[in-house]
């Protein structure tokens, strides 16, 4: 039985290792970028929730002529379904002022912006994140 006349087909171990190395390099570059985009999306969602809650506070003020005594309709972002990535709290609610604060939690804790706030004037901090 001789195999000398047959052409062998298939993938060699060297070819397979080259493909694995190329895929590993692509993943090493793409995955951190993907994680950054996911954090930015979650942050934008939390900012939208803060703006929505600020509008809620303004409606409360027009009905009661004070911010004091207001209770937020929700306190996490995203406000529905699944895991929440920010806790939202109402602080310093007086007759004429309030501050809404979104505090990152879970996988969002490492976000560069950290805690985000918005007040009755619509001023958001940190400024470079709004």
- pTM assigned to the model: 0.80
pLDDT (tens digit per residue) in 17-68 = 999 999 999 999 999 999 999 999 999 999 999 999 999 999 999 999 999 9
Beta bridge partners of 124: 118
DSSP string, 50-75: HHHHHHHHHHHHHHHS-STT---S--
């Amino acid at each position: 039985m001789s195999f000398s006349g047959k052409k062998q087909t298939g993938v060699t171990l060297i070819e397979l290792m080259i493909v694995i190395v190329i895929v590993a390099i692509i993943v090493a570059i793409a995955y951190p970028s993907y994680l950054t985009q996911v954090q930015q999306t979650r942050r934008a969602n939390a900012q939208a929730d803060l703006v929505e809650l600020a509008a809620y506070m303004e409606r409360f003020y027009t009905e009661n002529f004070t911010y004091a005594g207001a209770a937020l309709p929700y306190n996490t972002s995203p406000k529905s379904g699944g895991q929440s990535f920010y806790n939202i709290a109402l602080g310093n609610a007086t007759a004429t002022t309030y501050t809404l604060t979104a505090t990152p939690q879970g996988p969002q804790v490492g976000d560069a912006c950290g805690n985000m706030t918005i007040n009755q004037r619509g001023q958001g901090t940190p400024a470079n994140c709004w």
